[in-house]
């Protein structure tokens, strides 16, 4: 009788543990509690040692797309890295790519965008405003079912060869091509997709031959500031940011000073900028008098100087040439780095485990999931499943 009671107690404890883990796994992935049916189904899979499969069941929930992935992608779409940024073509495309198990590297190079399905009767996509996505969000659309993929070039008028996934989305152009000199697009792409800012990439050993004219070689009259502070960033940044030379964000500053209604603009072969005499946008020649002997941008040819020196640690793909023309080839360069793959895993880890990786076990999981991510054709749901399974016992 005592033995029977002990067996029942042990059985109940194991069952309760799997139910608790299933609930935690579902909560972390979706942000909402599971139904009883889903909870039991996930619990049974966990008891069978199939935690990844249990995580995939959680990812069938609409909240995974409308809440978890919306919050996951929104900070990438604005300079403030605000998680409450409205849904837009950038974040919707990230959500769609994850939903459809598309190779996640394509977000930096593909000719596609995700929009609402025609049967939703939304205001059509516009390249000059966000109304279409505002309506998707305000109507609480189930993004697991309400998004479809279309070619980006059919929406924004860019040639397919000039599209680069979310980098040429309207939201990215509004955030990172707005005014300035287009260096912001490179900086925030590195932050969002390689998990590094420019400061850690400073390397004073690289040649300064591609640093533009607008960078003073003696700021404040002190050349040491350039050598020790400015050069280390610009030696690698400027040769890469040249890929954006034909792009800008176009808006009417008189009627729309906050640049809310504008569109990405691209100089095609026949478009010659009066300020530069080439296809290069005028912003690339701003403040040319700061150092007239600096590099003059005449095209969109880029080169990755970070393939040499300390930044080889980013893990560049040696099968690629490390140089090219335009944003699409630059997106390919960045997306095929080891840093890109590991960055996505780190971001998923924080989103699901609700903390950064800290312990040696955490770091081992990051490495394992990075390898798995690449082995599973860069499908990010696989990473959510593995990381969710890892954290469900906390």
Instruction: Name residue 114's beta-bridge partners.
Output: 149
Summarize pLDDT for 119-141 with one digit per residue, the tens.
999 999 999 999 999 999 999 99
Closest CA to 243 of 196, 297, 318: 297
Q: Please, are residues 65 and 95 in contact by the beta-carbon 8 Å criterion? A: yes
Tokens found for residue 326: 């335009």
Planar angle of CA 148, 149, 154, nearest 5 degrees: 125
The span from the CA of 227 to the CA of 208, in Å, is: 10
Q: The pTM is what?
A: 0.94
Angle formed by the axes of helices 338-353 and 183-193, nearest 10°: 60
Summarised one tens digit per residue, pLDDT across range 38-53 is: 999 999 999 999 999 9
Instruction: Dump pLDDT digits (tens) for 376-388.
Output: 999 999 999 999 9
Could you report the per-residue pLDDT of 164-200, keeping only the tens digit for each?
999 999 999 999 999 999 999 999 999 999 999 999 9
Distance from C-alpha of 378 to C-alpha of 365, rounded to nearest angstrom: 16
Q: Give the total residue count for the chain.
A: 394
pLDDT (0 to 100) of residue 394? 83
| pLDDT score, position 227 | 87
């Amino acid at each position: 009788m005592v033995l029977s009671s002990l067996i029942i107690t042990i059985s109940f404890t194991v069952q309760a543990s799997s139910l608790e883990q299933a609930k935690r796994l579902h909560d972390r992935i979706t942000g909402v509690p599971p139904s009883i049916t889903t909870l039991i189904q996930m619990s049974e899979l966990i008891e069978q040692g199939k935690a990844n499969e249990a995580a995939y069941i959680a990812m069938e929930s609409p909240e995974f797309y409308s809440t978890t992935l919306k919050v996951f992608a929104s900070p990438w779409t604005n300079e403030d890295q605000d998680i409450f940024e409205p849904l837009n073509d950038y974040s919707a495309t990230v959500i769609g790519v994850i939903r459809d198990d598309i190779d996640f590297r394509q977000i930096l190079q593909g000719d596609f965008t995700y929009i609402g399905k025609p049967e939703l009767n939304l205001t059509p996509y516009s390249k000059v405003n966000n109304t279409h996505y505002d309506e998707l969000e305000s109507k609480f659309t189930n993004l697991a079912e309400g998004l479809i993929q279309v070619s980006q070039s059919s929406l924004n008028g860019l040639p397919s060869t000039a599209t680069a996934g979310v980098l040429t989305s309207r939201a990215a152009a509004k955030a990172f091509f707005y005014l300035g000199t287009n260096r912001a697009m490179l900086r925030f792409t590195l932050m969002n997709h390689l998990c590094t800012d420019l400061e850690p990439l400073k390397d004073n050993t690289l040649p300064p031959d591609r640093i533009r004219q607008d960078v003073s070689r003696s700021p404040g009259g002190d050349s040491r500031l350039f050598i020790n502070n400015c050069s280390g960033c610009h030696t690698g940044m400027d040769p890469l940011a040249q890929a954006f030379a034909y792009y800008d964000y176009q808006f009417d500053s008189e009627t729309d000073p906050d640049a809310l209604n504008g569109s990405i603009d691209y100089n095609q072969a026949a478009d010659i900028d009066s300020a530069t005499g080439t296809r290069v946008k005028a912003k690339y020649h701003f403040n040319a008098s700061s150092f007239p002997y600096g590099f003059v941008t005449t095209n969109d040819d880029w080169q990755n100087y970070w393939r040499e020196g300390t930044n080889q640690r980013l893990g560049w793909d040696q099968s690629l040439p490390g140089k090219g023309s335009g944003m699409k080839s630059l997106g390919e360069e960045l997306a095929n780095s080891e840093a890109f793959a590991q960055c996505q895993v780190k971001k998923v880890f924080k989103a699901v485990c609700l903390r950064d990786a800290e312990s040696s076990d955490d770091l081992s999981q990051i490495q394992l999931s990075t390898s798995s991510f690449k082995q599973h054709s860069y499908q990010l749901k696989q990473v959510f499943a593995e990381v969710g399974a890892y954290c469900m016992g906390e």
